[in-house]
Amino acid sequence: MKPIPLNSETEKIARRVIWFEEPPEALADPIRFMAYAMRHATHEEMKALRRYVSDEDLREALDKAPPGIIDARSWAYWNSVMGRYPAPPIPRRTFR
């Protein structure tokens, strides 16, 4: 997935979506960032992010989403938006 640029718009979104990290750190891993965005971003924030993230990027973010970030409802929604119905299994944490 291509990097998401750090600018005033993405900084504001990153501060709200991943409130526990500074925006440069949050945006450093775009797949992880988009997983949080798919769960926590508002419709307007996702519209803004879509200027930087293609459908291919979103599919990659879903394919590689870290377990435990996206909830079941958001998982079903974003997979449906990407034409994946029924949605594949949601990523699960595994314990060794």
Q: In degrees, to the nearest 5, what angle opens at C-alpha 53 toward C-alphas 77 and 12?
A: 90
Instruction: Please say whether the dihedral angle defined by the alpha carbons of residues 81, 84, 87 and 89, taken in this order, is positive or negative.
Output: negative
At 20-68, the pLDDT tens digits run: 999 999 999 999 999 999 999 999 999 999 999 999 999 999 999 999 9
pLDDT at 93: 87
Distances (CA, A) of 32 to 5, 36, 57, 96: 15, 6, 12, 22
pTM: 0.93
Q: Which two tokens stand for residue 5?
A: 């640029």
Determine the Cα–Cα distance for residues 8 and 86; give it in Å rounded to an integer: 36
Provide mean pLDDT across the span 3-18.
Answer: 98
- What is the distance between the terminal CA atoms of the chain, rounded to a whole angstrom? 29
Largest CA distance in the chain: 41
